[in-house]
Structure formats: structure tokens, C-alpha cells
Structure 1
């Protein structure tokens, strides 16, 4: 199964616009942010998983995270046995 990809760049752009805006602009930004969050929520409810693309992370960070998760999984399996 191919998992949907959520690109955090859209979220980051919206949150960066919140500084110093008028109440009307903040409400508009909040509505756009809620729409994006609603889409993520829908995907998680329907499929149960998704991929997240975070432009702030480097490939080495991704590799480190996957290595850490693999080690925790292996340790969890060994301790349960």
C-alpha cells in the first residue's frame, strides 16, 4: 500500500504568517491551518498511517530516527521473549 505524504512546508508557511497579523487575517490563517489539520486527521482515521515530509530535516536525521526505532523494536522483542 502506498501511504499518503503530508508536506509540513504548508503548515510551516501558515504558522510563520501568524506574527503581527490582524484578527481577521489570523482567523483566515487559522481556517487554512484547520483545513490542513483536518486532512491529516482524515488520512489517519481512514488509513492509520502517513508519511511526513519535513523540509527542516536532513536525510541523516531521517536515517538516525529509523536506526533508533529499529533498535527499540529489536530490544522490545528481545525483552518480551
Structure 2
């Protein structure tokens, strides 16, 4: 479990907002058996919630295409928007 981004919003009782996050390729990379940072085809599960202890929403993303080897981790920011 890794924090990829957050956006603090305040809602009044009964208020509803949509929060969108843009995940980069680097954010779904992992180390393979040869210790390379790669993105591989497969399923990635995304969880959303108030804290790491409370994650009531989840979705699965299907990654398609060839294995991509990435350079060492770079600093990144997860762009967000609220509607």
C-alpha cells in the first residue's frame, strides 16, 4: 500500500463533489526479480478513503502493452481536480 496522492476537501452535510487524480506511469512501477523498476501488463488495484485504515472505495485498472523499464524513481506530484 503506497500513498500516491491526496486532496483535502471539506463537504457540508449532504454535499457531493467529484475528485479526480491523474496517476503517472511511475506511480504503478515496481521492482522486478532483477531489481529493475518496471511497469508490467496486469491488474493494479487503487483504493480511496479517509486514511489508510479506512479505504471504502476501490477499483481495478488493467495495464496493457509491453513491459517498460524506468529509470530510478523521480519526484512526482499527483495532479488533482475537484468539481
TM-score, normalized by length of structure 1? 0.21
Q: Which has the larger radius of gyration?
A: 1
TM-score, normalized by length of structure 2? 0.21
* Higher strand fraction (1 or 2): 2
* Higher helix fraction (1 or 2): 1
